[in-house]
Structure 1
Amino acid sequence: MSSRNQNGAKGSIPSLKTGPFERSVALTRLGVGAGAKIMAHSIANIFRGEIRRDDANREFYRRQAQVLADELGKLKGSVMKAGQMLSLYGQYFLPEEAVTVLSSLQDDTPPVDWKVVRPVLERALGRRRLQELEVDETPLAAASLGQVHRARRRTDGLELCVKIQYPGVADAIESDIRTLSRLLIMTRLTPRGLDITPVFNEVREMLHREVDYESERHFTETFAARLGDDPRFVVPRVIGEYCSDQVLTTSYEHGLNVRDARVRALDQSRRDRLGSAFLELFLTEFFDWGMVQSDPHFGNYRIRLGDDAEGDRFVLLDFGATRVFGRGFIDSYAEIVRGALARDRNRLKQGAVAIGLMQPGFPRAVVDAFAEMCELIVEPFAPAADERVPEALRTADGRYRWGASDLPMRASRMAAINALSVHFRVPPREIVFLHRRLAGVFIMLAALHCEVDGRDTLLQALGRAEERSPRQADD
């Protein structure tokens, strides 16, 4: 297990449980302990009043999720990544306390000792090739499936980032998924009667995709080619001679964390320019390319400051979570957005039915509730004169104050209410991952305290999508 250093940060993990059997035993032991706690909690609830019972339930869910998160963090690999995905899907069916705790797996990950990952690098590149590099044994970043080390090529001093996959993670995926699905039921974090098989099928597919470093290399090179002429963005260059199925090496690209004091100190116009570029990038990825980097973690983005606003650039990192969307899905989703912007609920419903979010026979009240949520989500893109947008969230000239908005909280509350409906269903996987990135866009613009009116940018993207639509061609 990991320890904490003198600064309170998590220390490195000295070894990994890489075998399916030992990983299964560790999780099963956790499940048995959870069963005993559930029994004790249920007995104690008999003697509690309603209010105390509700408080006790919330604390119980929080503790169960914390134990689960701690164990997943120690095991690393696919089981931990699955825990991250559960925090994403979980907003639709897990207790709020469990989602909050599991979300901590996104950015509180201890690294693995160099002695564990060095053999992977040596086998992948060969000793002679590895000797060409001077590798920093302290990782730049650690995640659930691998970690990144900074390196320098001895011959020319080229600065590199070497992403190394943890040993055994690819082989453990199937066993991890089976064990974790059972564990989630044993800890009673999922509602009774809810079939979570589709969720785990999606998690399984996602995990296989994220350990496919050849695919990640392809998407990195594709993004680099498509953004090569756009001075607002930097994509690392893949260094092919130091890549394999378990190692991905790219050029090291410097930049500042989004929350760095030097970024916060930028004047409003420079922050707005950065935010506008970030918003436009997302809309281009989805509506034009049908190819979206769906992991919005701040660790995947850096800001490189120039001498002025024209020189400021986003550095884009880690394309392992890139998802490809079919044109039919894009067209149907575009109809939902158009319907929400125009307050046209029939159009909105048609898009939702086509995408699988609802059935044609749903009651009007269910359709209206869904439409109200969609109309709320597009609040930043409403016309400047729209009186439904809180006055405090508009500048004098009609720009949206992203940093002052509580829109994510309002939308989450409305989504939670809608989830209580008997007509509720876990959204299609495309929606879950698209909205993951969409939420990341909002958080990015909020972190930059942008004052940006993105309506025209969105309308232009919708117009381009309509031009590409096969339906338009058929008409």
Structure 2
Amino acid sequence: MARDSDSGRKKPLKLKTGSFDRNAAMARMGMVAGAQFAGHTLGNLFRSKEDKERRNRDFYIKQAQFLADELGQLKGSVMKVGQMLSVYGQYFMPPEAIEVLRSLQDDSPPVAWEDLEPVVVQRLGSKRLAEIDIDPEPLAAASLGQVHRATRKSDGMQLCVKIQYPKLADAIDSDIRTLTQIVRLARLAPKGVELSSIMEEVREMIYREVDYDRELRMTREFSERLADDPRFVVPQVFPEYSTETVLVTSFEQAHHVQSDTVQNLSQVRRDRLGAQALELFFREFFVWGIVQTDPHFGNYKVRVNDDGNDQMVLLDFGATREFAPRFLGSYYDVVTGAFERDAKRLIDGAIGINLLRRDSPQHVFDAFAKVGMLMIEPFSDDAPAPLTNAEGAYRWGDSDLPFRVSRAVSDAAISRWFRIPPREIVFLHRRLGGVFVLLAVLDAEVDSRDMLASYLYRARDAEQST
């Protein structure tokens, strides 16, 4: 894991781990959310349509902000659920609420060391613990755990110790049940949405992320797959110091993508980093079928080297997903159809992954194909002139593609024909969107048409040969 010297310190938080404390806090959240909705409904009784719409927007922002503030104090699975809702919620929640929930990123106040030290002592045992010296000041704090730097006494090797918050796994099921009711009381999910099934998928995702044995395996998997590619650095894992709630890896020095050090790199070096990030995603999806789906910038840092061959340091593989061949085949059809301007193949692929209904009217298919072909713009040979440089490379930092895609979907008035996508698509697009944002933050200029083509057709050839 890596440390970013640009990050600031935050006051430690006293973690609410006891069932009474957590249940009391969440009960209060439900009462307040319900009372706010009742007051809002009463206040709207005699208002005009325009006033109601304005007050509704303000209400959703207020409710989501209240939820985000309270979840940030509780940490654990409820905070992670809030983050996941910002991913799933884009398909059914008010955009005002989504913007607030997106603020629930993994940069919250750390938990006091006095609450975490007993976990480490219990899990590692006194003999193993005596071999390392852990700094009580955390490097990073997230919703499910936090990271501390450590030194192995025998040789001075620098380590990172990732510690899961106490009793977190025990509270996941009850937290999700309670939070489902709170979201309903806050009216952040409209009637007709199968919130329970969505929360069940979120529950499965959280259980995957608190499985440190699996994360250790995935970290080792990526390390082995990228061992011969010097452009990427994956931390070494130390099973002898790791348990189901403690994960120890090597400390890898690197800079945050938004740091001055990275932002001040030359255009050529930033372009190279952007191409690396894009190719890594293509390799994960089209070749391996294994994707790290968490796009948080803390998981993709940069090691700036004197020779100009900068490396991407890859961290945190808890959100890694494996994709089934059937899903991959249909999704290849979606991308290939968009890439080749083949509307029928694109639509057949979308139906195959349950993104579109087969009984949709033709205008919905046409509109969906138009949106799909718009999304492929960075990889096309006819991108708008202002968005390409003299060599034809796409200028990611100047692109407003996400806004144009969102507007195209809205203008087509086809949202009622879309399904809430299956979790594979939700989390795949979460990572893909993160790659796009990363390239924009790097202000990279990358001609990636040939890159995408090579991976698309490699995947197609591999599928045909099986």
Q: Distance in 1 between matches of 2:64 and 2:413?
A: 21
Please list, as runs of the form range in 1=range in 2, the aligned pairs for 1:75-224 lying within 5 A after superposition. 75-224=74-223
Residues 422 and 259 of structure 1, relative CA distance in 2, 3 Å threshold: closer
Deviation string 1:240-293 (CA, Å, 9 cap, x unpaired) is 211001000000000111111121121111111111111000000001000000
Task: Give the conservation status (yes or no) of the 8 Å contact 1:18–1:167.
Answer: no
User: Paired residue for 2:250?
Assistant: 251
TM-aligned CA deviation for residue 35 of structure 1: 1.4
Q: Distance in 1 between matches of 2:234 and 2:196?
A: 36
Deviation string 1:83-131 (CA, Å, 9 cap, x unpaired) is 1000001111111111111111114411100001111111110122212
The count of aligned residue pairs is 460
User: Paired residue for 1:453?
Assistant: 447
Q: Distance in 1 between matches of 2:176 and 2:311?
A: 39
Please list, as runs of the form range in 1=range in 2, the aligned pairs for 1:66-77 lying within 5 A after superposition. 66-77=65-76
Q: Distance in 2 between matches of 1:66 and 1:84?
A: 13
TM-aligned CA deviation for residue 9 of structure 1: 6.5
The alignment partner of 2:137 has SS state of: coil
Deviation string 1:278-328 (CA, Å, 9 cap, x unpaired) is 10000000010000000010001111111233x210000000000000111
Q: Distance in 2 between matches of 1:301 and 1:157?
A: 26
Gaps of 5+ in 2: 1-6
Q: Distance in 2 between matches of 1:256 and 1:218?
A: 25
Name the amino acid aligned to 1:226: R
User: Paired residue for 2:14?
Assistant: 14
Please list, as runs of the form range in 1=range in 2, the aligned pairs for 1:301-320 lying within 5 A after superposition. 301-309=300-308, 311-320=309-318
TM-aligned CA deviation for residue 361 of structure 1: 2.0
Q: Percent identity?
A: 54
Q: Distance in 1 between matches of 2:15 and 2:265?
A: 43
Task: Give the conservation status (yes or no) of the 8 Å contact 2:107–2:140.
Answer: no
Please list, as runs of the form range in 1=range in 2, the aligned pairs for 1:194-343 lying within 5 A after superposition. 194-309=193-308, 311-343=309-341
Q: Distance in 2 between matches of 1:238 and 1:69?
A: 33
Q: Distance in 2 between matches of 1:88 and 1:336?
A: 21
User: Paired residue for 1:36?
Assistant: 35
Task: Give the conservation status (yes or no) of the 8 Å contact 1:418–1:424.
Answer: no
TM-aligned CA deviation for residue 331 of structure 1: 1.2
TM-aligned CA deviation for residue 50 of structure 1: 2.3
User: Paired residue for 1:347?
Assistant: 345
Task: Give the conservation status (yes or no) of the 8 Å contact 1:109–1:143.
Answer: yes
TM-aligned CA deviation for residue 359 of structure 1: 2.4
User: Paired residue for 1:379?
Assistant: 377
How well do the aligned residues superpose, as a CA RMSD in angstroms?
Answer: 1.6
Q: Distance in 2 between matches of 1:324 and 1:89?
A: 19
Task: Give the conservation status (yes or no) of the 8 Å contact 2:389–2:445.
Answer: yes
Gaps of 5+ in 1: 1-6
User: Paired residue for 1:3?
Assistant: none
Deviation string 1:147-185 (CA, Å, 9 cap, x unpaired) is 000011111110000000001110111111111111111
The alignment partner of 2:187 has SS state of: coil
Task: Give the conservation status (yes or no) of the 8 Å contact 2:254–2:301.
Answer: yes
Task: Give the conservation status (yes or no) of the 8 Å contact 1:65–1:102.
Answer: yes
Name the amino acid aligned to 1:196: L
The alignment partner of 2:116 has SS state of: helix
Q: Distance in 1 between matches of 2:82 and 2:457?
A: 38
The alignment partner of 1:161 has SS state of: strand
Residues 113 and 313 of structure 1, relative CA distance in 2, 3 Å threshold: same
Q: Distance in 2 between matches of 1:15 and 1:430?
A: 32
Task: Give the conservation status (yes or no) of the 8 Å contact 1:18–1:172.
Answer: no
TM-aligned CA deviation for residue 10 of structure 1: 4.4
Does residue 433 in structure 1 map to residue 427 in structure 2? yes
Q: Distance in 2 between matches of 1:18 and 1:290?
A: 40
Q: Distance in 2 between matches of 1:260 and 1:245?
A: 33
2:436 to 435, 438, 442: 442
Does residue 473 in structure 1 map to residue 465 in structure 2? yes
Q: Distance in 2 between matches of 1:413 and 1:373?
A: 10
TM-aligned CA deviation for residue 417 of structure 1: 5.2
Task: Give the conservation status (yes or no) of the 8 Å contact 2:15–2:75.
Answer: no
Q: Distance in 1 between matches of 2:158 and 2:412?
A: 50
User: Paired residue for 2:3?
Assistant: none
TM-aligned CA deviation for residue 420 of structure 1: 5.8
Residues 215 and 10 of structure 1, relative CA distance in 2, 3 Å threshold: same
Deviation string 1:324-382 (CA, Å, 9 cap, x unpaired) is 00111111101101111122111111111111112222111111121111111110000
Name the amino acid aligned to 2:248: T
User: Paired residue for 2:4?
Assistant: none
Task: Give the conservation status (yes or no) of the 8 Å contact 1:303–1:313.
Answer: yes
Task: Give the conservation status (yes or no) of the 8 Å contact 1:236–1:250.
Answer: yes
TM-aligned CA deviation for residue 408 of structure 1: 1.5
User: Paired residue for 1:412?
Assistant: 406
Name the amino acid aligned to 2:196: T
TM-aligned CA deviation for residue 13 of structure 1: 1.0
Q: Distance in 2 between matches of 1:114 and 1:107?
A: 18
User: Paired residue for 2:386?
Assistant: 392
TM-aligned CA deviation for residue 42 of structure 1: 1.2
